[in-house]
């Protein structure tokens, strides 16, 4: 896998950072989530958290480094699971569009 630096919100050598890959994926460097309540909620949501997965927390300020136009060009498997927004995320988007 080849990595290409995408951006950061810090001047130092630590997280958060965003990388693009040659596999049309994005890698995010952030703080590992260790809060037991948060992890339990994630594990209990739909398919949960597989043994080979982890979650990291990154500030929203990192996401402007994602070039959405590049993501739109990625061929998506028609059999993939649909992206589903949570209730609160839907409410926040609706509020922004008013």
Task: Give tens-digit pLDDT for 50-93.
Answer: 888 888 888 878 877 777 666 666 666 666 666 666 777 777 77
How far CA 76 is from CA of 4, 8, 72, in Å, comes to 21, 27, 9
| pTM of the predicted model as reported, rounded to 2 decimal places | 0.60
Q: Where are the domains of the chain?
A: 3-96
Look at the block and give the residue holding tokens 């028609």: 78
pLDDT at 36: 92
Task: Give tens-digit pLDDT for 10-39.
Answer: 877 778 888 888 887 888 888 899 999 999
Of 12, 41, 51, nearest in space to 29 by CA: 12
pLDDT at 58: 81
């Amino acid at each position: 896998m080849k990595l290409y630096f995408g951006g950061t919100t810090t001047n130092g050598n630590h997280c958060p950072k965003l990388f693009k890959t040659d596999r049309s994926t994005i890698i995010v460097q952030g703080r590992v989530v260790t809060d037991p309540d948060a992890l339990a909620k994630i594990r209990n949501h739909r398919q949960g958290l597989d043994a080979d997965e982890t979650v990291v927390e990154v500030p929203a300020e990192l996401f402007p480094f994602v070039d959405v136009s590049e993501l739109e060009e990625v061929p998506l498997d028609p059999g993939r699971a649909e992206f589903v927004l949570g209730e609160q995320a839907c409410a926040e988007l609706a509020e922004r569009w008013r």
